[in-house]
């Protein structure tokens, strides 16, 4: 990856399975739930260590994603999520993309 890529290009390089709208929705949910800036939400950001999520935040994030996308994310899938990229991938998998 080159330093000249924009954040959107970087996100699409690391995860081409979610649409721009899907990535933006995930980022909005994270920013709103965790009170972080969009700049802090990067694919490699660790949701608890870097973004400050506790276990309740994680449950609420999953619930908001389920509501927003009309899906059910299994506990097993949710437990595999460590980074923002993991969250993008778990949602894409759940959506069947």
Whether the pTM exceeds 0.95: the reply is no
> How confident is the model over 28-43, as pLDDT tens digits?
999 999 999 999 999 9
Catalytic residue (one of 20, 28, 35, 54): 54
Quick one: which of 47, 21, 49 has its CA closest to 33?
47
Number of domains making up the chain: 1
Is 48 catalytic? The answer is no
Rg of the chain over Cα atoms, rounded to whole angstroms, equals 13
pLDDT tier, 97 (very low <50, low <70, confident <90, very high otherwise): low
Is residue 79 in some structural domain? yes
Is residue 91 in some structural domain? yes
Is residue 1 in some structural domain? no
Q: Which domain holds residue 45?
A: 7-95
Is residue 2 in some structural domain? no
């Amino acid at each position: 990856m080159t330093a000249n890529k924009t954040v959107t290009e970087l996100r699409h390089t690391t995860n081409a399975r979610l649409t721009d709208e899907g990535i933006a929705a995930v980022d909005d949910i994270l920013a709103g739930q965790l009170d972080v800036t969009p700049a802090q939400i990067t694919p490699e950001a660790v949701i608890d260590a870097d973004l400050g999520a506790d276990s309740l935040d994680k449950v609420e994030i999953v619930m908001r994603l389920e509501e927003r996308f009309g899906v059910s994310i299994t506990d097993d899938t949710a437990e595999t999520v460590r980074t923002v990229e993991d969250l993008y991938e778990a949602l894409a998998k759940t959506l069947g993309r």
